[in-house]
Chain A
Amino acid sequence: MSDDKPEADKPAAAAEAAHEHDHDHADHDHDHADHDHSHGGHAHGEATAHADGHDHGLAHTTPVWLLFGILGALLVLTVATVSVTSIDLGAQGNLVVAMIIATVKAALVCTFFMHLLWDKKFHAVLFLTSVLFLILFLAMTTNDRGEYQHLVDEYRAQQLQAK
């Protein structure tokens, strides 16, 4: 949680600090999005070679070939998940396989399209936390429902007999 120290060592608003960091405008060899390197005077994007996905300014730039590669993988997985339905894997088997494939697709979207691979870890932690809470909610509720389902079934059965 205390992942990011505030710009603690440099009084953030002081104009002086900006001038001290003026040296690194020419090259963009940054490897972390959270280092405060690009100060003012930087209003226009450089159209230099960024196809290799180095950081540019405030954050990492995804290379285009990677984007298409991920899309390809996603489309293949979509085809796979549809085709699998024609194979009978038992009552729960198909569901499990479908969920696994969906999760792989989701992981690809999150990691690459949504940039989590190159972002602060805290964002990934946040997202996983929300998924964890979702699972907690689903698990407890379904479990509880399962536990008292027999009461519902018995009642139903009684009602049918009474007819």
Chain B
Amino acid sequence: MSENSAPLIIGFLCNWCSYAGADMAGTSRAAYPSNIRILRVPCSGRVDPMMIVKCFQEGADAVLVAGCHPGDCHYNEGNYYGRRRFALLRELLDFMGVERERFRVEWVSASEGKRFAKIVTDFTNEMTKMGPRKAS
């Protein structure tokens, strides 16, 4: 896909805000690294912690979950539930050796195309600096 595929970042984007935000990045020609592989999910609350652990297990260097800003969830409260889950999951992952920096959660609205591009660019740079994960 790209000349340099490392680091590999898996991105879970909610259908209503963040996926549209990524779309906006495209239509407004804001470039971002192709290290991110985007998966569209109905809601950030749909992102089962098992999916994230599985990503790391299968060799992802980092995972990004992006959803609607708190208060803007299409399903009213999906991202609030998600926020609690991710806060705990990040602690558990870090405890088991997956550094907390490798799992990032961001709120990206449908109009924040440029911001999405910046988030992905910064995240990719940071992960490049950190290097690949040491153990699975």
Q: Report whether chain A binds chain B.
A: no
Seen from chain B, the residues whose Cβ lies within 8 Å of a Cβ on chain A are none
Which residues of A approach B to under 8 Å, CB–CB? none
